[in-house]
Amino acid sequence: MAKQDYYETLGVAKGCSDADLKKSYRRMAMKYHPDRNPDDSEAIVKFKEVKEAYEILSDSQKRAAYDQFGHAGVDGSQGGFGGGGGGFGGGFGDIFEDIFGGSRGGGSRANSAYRGSDLQYNLELTLEEAVFGTTVDIRVPSKQTCETCDGSGAKEGSSPETCNTCQGQGQVRIQQGFFSVQQTCPHCNGAGTQISDPCNDCHGEGRVEQKKTLEVKIPEGVDTGDRIRLSGEGEAGINGGPAGDLYVQMHLKDHEIFVRDENDLHCEMPVPFTQAAIGGTLKVPTLSGEVNLKIPPETQSGKVFRLRGKGVKSVRSSMTGDLLCKINVETPVNLTSKQKKLLEQFQAALDKGGEKHSPQQHGWGNKAKSFFDDVKGWFEGESEK
């Protein structure tokens, strides 16, 4: 089967620049990399095609030969994973670094410095702490440089020895027919050195598990999902690499009264039906203290009152949200005989007023009557057929 044009394989034009070629290659190599598509045979084939195309087009001489003669001009110089010294060199090494954070160090990954892993700490806050800000102490478990061996992994008085398998390169080359494949040394795992007498504290790793206490300042207005980055407070790096970062993730606890919606607060207030009917003043709690809310006469259950500026100040701006107070008209319970008698008299007085006192009830009753009349007419019409 004829090979696809290398430019089409990489999704670039024939006269593209080296920078555009490399950019497209990195994007496609990351997309089809076998580690990201472990069970996708088509992706593995595509990855090899992309790798092969880039190896030819990234070499100025091979690219010129390909532009002039096509595949025939470069078939003799191809080697699957080879070209220019063999192994996973050249462009693949670049993309390997992009995906896994490695450092080739002039063709060898041995003794390369690696950045430590980032960590995440989930911090639970009360609503008040999130709104007004606070300072908290957290204990974070992480891997830190072993002080006993100073990160070397070797016992005091000894030092790591050069790996005999890879001769300190961290990689070994395997010949497979016409192909020369370079891979991580299986004996030293790419370190280039082996420790015959490991440190008793870190057992040769160079890092130990520790818990450290950190003081974290929480700004005003944070919400669930917000993160604070503490630079360099993650895990220690390897071979002198920089430490990772620590991300403190915010989670707000449920509150007894308020529900937060971004910068607004919501609450529900029970109101006696007599007060809802004749009106009055209601004391409403806010995060800054009680305020008086005037309830107008004839307030219905479900009515929402907005108290402006009584919500949360945004962590990203100077704007402050509102407090939305929903009224729930409460029906009295545990009535005495006398109270029930008074309510019966009160209801009788309301009934004389009819629709004037209960417009919603009468409106609903009219809709229900119309519905039943329609249903009755439908059944009568069916019976006449």
> Is the pLDDT reported for residue 362 higher than 60?
no
Report the number of distinct structural domains present in the chain: 4
Could you tell me if 244 and 125 lie in one domain? yes
Could you tell me if 211 and 132 lie in one domain? yes
Q: Which residues lie below 8 Å from residue 134, measured CB to CB, with a gap of 6+?
A: 125, 218
Could you tell me if 265 and 343 lie in one domain? no
Could you tell me if 216 and 241 lie in one domain? yes
> Is the pLDDT reported for residue 364 higher than 70?
no
CATH, residue 190 = 2.10.230.10
State the CB neighbour count (10 A cutoff) for residue 80: 16
| Residue 114 counted as domain residue | no
Could you tell me if 189 and 231 lie in one domain? yes
Could you tell me if 143 and 42 lie in one domain? no
| Residue 326 counted as domain residue | yes
Q: Measured in whole angstroms, how far is the alpha carbon of residue 150 from the centre of its chain?
A: 35
Q: What is the pLDDT of residues 235-276, one digit of tens each?
A: 877 777 788 899 999 999 999 999 999 999 999 999 988 888
Could you tell me if 326 and 343 lie in one domain? no
| Residue 112 counted as domain residue | no
Could you tell me if 218 and 126 lie in one domain? yes
What is the sign, positive or negative, of the torsion defined by CA atoms of 216, 217, 220, 226?
Answer: negative
Could you tell me if 11 and 91 lie in one domain? yes
Could you tell me if 242 and 184 lie in one domain? yes
Give the domain range for residue 302: 259-330
Cα torsion at 40, 42, 44, 49 (round to 10°)?
-160
DSSP E strands in 58-170: the ranges are 119-125, 134-145, 161-162
- Final residue of a structural domain among 198, 225, 249: 249
- Final residue of a structural domain among 312, 330, 348: 330
CA distance 363 to 358: 9
- Final residue of a structural domain among 38, 65, 100: 100
Q: Specify whether the CB–CB gap between 190 and 169 falls below 8 A.
A: no
Q: What is the pLDDT of residues 108-153, one digit of tens each?
A: 455 566 788 888 989 999 999 999 999 999 988 877 778 778 777 7
Q: What is the pLDDT of residues 20-69, one digit of tens each?
A: 888 888 888 888 887 777 778 888 888 888 888 888 888 888 888 888 77
| Residue 254 counted as domain residue | no
Could you tell me if 284 and 208 lie in one domain? no
* This prediction's pTM: 0.54
> Is the pLDDT reported for residue 314 higher than 60?
yes
CATH, residue 42 = 1.10.287.110
